[in-house]
C-alpha cells in the first residue's frame, strides 16, 4: 500500500508538496488506500456470497426439480404402494395402530381409548412399527 501511494505521488507530478505537508499527505494517503482495500474486499465478499447463493439455488433447482409432474406422481404412487405393502407385513395390532395413527390422524391417547390399551403400549407399538418399516423401506428412503 505504501508503494502504491508513492507510485501515485510520482505519477501526479502536478502536486507541489513541501516537507511540512508531505508527512501528513503520506499518512492520509496510506490510510485512504487501506480503507479503499477494505471496502473493496467487503464488496467482493458480498458479491461472492450472493453469487454462491445463486449458484446453490440454480444447482438445487437443476438437481431436485428436474422431475416433471408425471414422474413425481408415479414416484409418489410407487412409494405409497411400497409403504402399504410394508404395513401389511406388520403384526395385526401394529398394523391397526399405524393405520389409526397415520391414516386417520389419531393421537396415541385417542388410539389407546379406542383399543382400550395404555398410551405407553400404543407408543411402543408405533415406535416398533416405524423401526420395522424403516428397515423394510431402507432401499427406497
Domain layout of the chain by residue ranges: 2-64, 69-136
d(CA 97, CA 100) in angstroms, rounded, equals 5
Whole-structure pTM value: 0.48
Question: Which residues have CB under 8 Å from 86's CB, separation 6+?
Answer: 132, 133, 136, 137
**Tens of pLDDT, residues 8-65:** 877 776 667 777 777 888 888 899 999 999 999 988 888 888 888 887 787 777 666 5
Pick the CATH number of 69-136 from 3.30.70.870, 3.40.50.1380, 1.10.10.10, 2.30.130.40: 1.10.10.10
The more confidently predicted of residues 87 and 140 is 87
**Tens of pLDDT, residues 63-90:** 665 556 666 777 778 888 888 899 999 9
pLDDT grade for 117, boundaries at 50, 70 and 90: very high
Amino acid at each position: 500500500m505504501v508503494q502504491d501511494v508513492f507510485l501515485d505521488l510520482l505519477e501526479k507530478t502536478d502536486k507541489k508538496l513541501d516537507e511540512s505537508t508531505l508527512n501528513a499527505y503520506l499518512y492520509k494517503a496510506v490510510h485512504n488506500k487501506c480503507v479503499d482495500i477494505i471496502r473493496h474486499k467487503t464488496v467482493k465478499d458480498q458479491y461472492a456470497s450472493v453469487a454462491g447463493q445463486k449458484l446453490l439455488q440454480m444447482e438445487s433447482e437443476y438437481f431436485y426439480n428436474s422431475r416433471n409432474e408425471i414422474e413425481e406422481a408415479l414416484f409418489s404412487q410407487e412409494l405409497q404402494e411400497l409403504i402399504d405393502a410394508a404395513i401389511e407385513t406388520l403384526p395385526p395390532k401394529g398394523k391397526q395402530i399405524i393405520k389409526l395413527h397415520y391414516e386417520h390422524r389419531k393421537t396415541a391417547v385417542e388410539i389407546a381409548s379406542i383399543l382400550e390399551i395404555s398410551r405407553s403400549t400404543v407408543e411402543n407399538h408405533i415406535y416398533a412399527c416405524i423401526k420395522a418399516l424403516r428397515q423394510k423401506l431402507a432401499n427406497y428412503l
